[in-house]
Structure 1
Amino acid sequence: MTSTEEDGPSSTLPRRQLGRFLRDRREATGFTIAEAAKLVDLSRAVLQRIETGQIQKVQRQDVQALCEVYDVGREDTRAAVDLATQARFKNWYHVYGGLFSTAFNMYVGLETAAHRLTTYHDQHIPGLLQTADYAWAIIGAFPEFTSPDDVDRRVEHRMKRQALVTRKTNPVQLDVLLHVSVLYRVIGSSSTMAAQLRHLAEMSKRPNVTLRIQPYSAGLTWGIPHGSFIVMNFGRTAKGEPLEPPVVFIEGGAAQDMYLEKPDEVRLYSELATAIQDTCLGEVESRNLLRRVAKEHERREW
């Protein structure tokens, strides 16, 4: 699919990602919104709307000027200006899901801003709950990552992301639904799996984490093979209005990642998550199953 500028509402995702990036860089340099706006000849209100992703057509020259004020490097400046360009495209997320470097990684930006993540996985354990050994086995298996140092950096980055779950102040609410096959698929080794499942059992006791397992007997929810997905919600204002529109993320694997933000699409996946949850084991039963399967992996190791 080739993106062209279209009539009608554009995707909010690049605008929101660009806004987060500019806000983070402004705060890192110590400027207030009013100070930064004055330096680039914008009003405070306009810059605030840029930072919150509320302006549909962000001017490229404004992004360039802000990056210069914040002393942003050439590569990240070019990516930021490109985001301002792509923010005009209605179908942006279909094409540019995984394009940018760490600073512009769309998924990480959304995950960091999220208040609640509802995730269903039928292939592997979600990154926010992976052990380092399990993550190394997954990342290291990808054919493009041939350097151990490269794999190490990626694993380190994944481990740092887990602070979203374990931090003391406002940890993300993580609702995890796992198909039981994930427990038996050996990633790395049997000892790696045993340690991973015991880690899951411990994490599931945290007040901000719920973890439930869908058994084989549940069959296909809605009778369709739907695959893994994540529903991201971003909290509400004091008036009860969403801080940001919710988003569904579907990891593409060997293909392109997909981000869905149309209300009907988000509602469909939210209802699917609820339907899956209705077929899952309870939290205590799921935790006991994790420990039981961990013991099975330990016996295999011998």
Structure 2
Amino acid sequence: MTADDPVVAQIQLGILLRDLREEADLTTSEAGQIIGSSNATISRIENGKQVIKAEDAATLLEAYGADDTQTAEALRLAAVPKPRARRRRSSSYRDAAPNWFTRFLVMESEANEISAYENELVTGLLQTEDYARELLRAGAPLAGSSELDRKVELRMRRQRILTRTDPPPVQLDVILHEATLHRVIGSDEVMARQLQHVLEMSELGNITVRVLPFRPKPTPNHDEAFVASSRFMLLKLPERGTMLYMDDFAGATYPEDLNVIQQYATGYQRLRAAAEDPDASAELIAKITQQYG
């Protein structure tokens, strides 16, 4: 799927219009009045479920105070042909950076449930600004300060899905391998704030954090010996089913074979069974946090 795929473009446009509306401090009802539509129509457009005419998009962009770059991107997306119904392909494809990340943002924003397994780093949705900045600087060592600031801001903006009200916040279930708590990113101070942030976020009703310890307890199915060698995410998208996402420093992979997705879903449940429960996980995180002073 490319950046000009009609489904991706429609969702991307919806995300962009929603962000601009919120920045302009306008409600969906007010936006609807601008183009003579209902707030329900605006919601469907912002959720990527309904096409918007280019002229209506232009009218909203002007009302939202979009700059030239934002306007050009939105109108480009609005010009992509209307999506057509299609069958899920039993294949996988790999997008080269940076396009792969755009696709991921679409999936993440559209999801109502996310299950994430992390074996080396705290998952992006739970990262603090300092922790994220260290990682993003390492990933782009030649980036200037302005570019780095934009990358950090984008990562922080992604976290809005955890506290949004319309639609309801995403249900996030995270398994952190204990190694993620011990690998120092930045400094002891950065790590202390990061782990404290994880504890605070885990208190929200829509977020569950479990730690897979170095010494997991025995389980009936020997799940304690089950190993996942890399991080992965399962994203449940309304009306589109569950998507599987994996990445590394070079790009991302989106397997679409239903059998592969099921294998990862089963694997996630095995990792979950071997992990500590949320209360015990919080105690372990708090204990390790103290080691950072």
> Structure 1 length normalisation: TM-score?
0.70
RMSD: 3.9
Identity of aligned residues (%): 26
Tell whether the 8 Å contact from 1:139 to 1:154 is kept in structure 2 after alignment.
yes
Which residue identity lines up with residue 246 of structure 1 in the other structure?
T
Give the structure 1 partner of residue 123 of structure 2: 126
Q: Does 1:294 align with 2:289?
A: yes
Alignment of 1:82-101 (within 5 A): 94-96=93-95, 98-100=97-99
Give the structure 2 partner of residue 184 of structure 1: 182
How many residue pairs match? The answer is 256
Tell whether the 8 Å contact from 2:237 to 2:243 is kept in structure 1 after alignment.
no
Tell whether the 8 Å contact from 1:134 to 1:187 is kept in structure 2 after alignment.
yes
Which residue identity lines up with residue 231 of structure 1 in the other structure?
L
Q: Per the alignment, do residues 255 and 33 of structure 1 end up closer, same or farther by CA in structure 2, a change over 3 Å counting?
A: farther
Tell whether the 8 Å contact from 1:16 to 1:52 is kept in structure 2 after alignment.
no
Alignment of 1:258-277 (within 5 A): 258-277=253-272
Give the structure 2 partner of residue 226 of structure 1: 229
Which residue identity lines up with residue 161 of structure 2 in the other structure?
L
Alignment of 1:185-264 (within 5 A): 185-218=183-216, 223-235=226-238, 243-251=239-247, 253-264=248-259
Q: Does 1:20 align with 2:19?
A: no
Separation in structure 2 between the aligned mates of residue 175 and residue 95 of structure 1, nearest angstrom: 25
Secondary structure of 1:289's counterpart equals helix
Q: Does 1:146 align with 2:143?
A: yes
1:259-290, Cα deviation, whole Å (9 max, x unpaired): 12332122111111100000001111110111
Work out which of the residue numbers 50, 53, 57 in structure 2 matches 1:70. 57
Structure 2 portions without partners, runs of 5+:
19-27, 39-43, 62-70, 217-221
1:150-169, Cα deviation, whole Å (9 max, x unpaired): 11121122112212112345
Q: Per the alignment, do residues 171 and 185 of structure 1 end up closer, same or farther by CA in structure 2, a change over 3 Å counting?
A: same
Tell whether the 8 Å contact from 1:18 to 1:84 is kept in structure 2 after alignment.
no
Per the TM alignment, residue 145 of structure 1 is displaced from its structure 2 partner at its CA by 4.6
Q: Per the alignment, do residues 267 and 69 of structure 1 end up closer, same or farther by CA in structure 2, a change over 3 Å counting?
A: same
Q: Per the alignment, do residues 67 and 144 of structure 1 end up closer, same or farther by CA in structure 2, a change over 3 Å counting?
A: farther
Per the TM alignment, residue 98 of structure 1 is displaced from its structure 2 partner at its CA by 4.2
> Structure 2 length normalisation: TM-score?
0.72
Q: Does 1:284 align with 2:279?
A: yes
Secondary structure of 2:254's counterpart equals strand
Which residue identity lines up with residue 21 of structure 1 in the other structure?
Q
Separation in structure 2 between the aligned mates of residue 81 and residue 113 of structure 1, nearest angstrom: 21
Secondary structure of 2:215's counterpart equals helix
Which residue identity lines up with residue 70 of structure 1 in the other structure?
A
Which stretch shows the higher mean deviation, 125-134 or 259-268? 259-268
1:124-166, Cα deviation, whole Å (9 max, x unpaired): 1111111111111111112355212211121122112212112
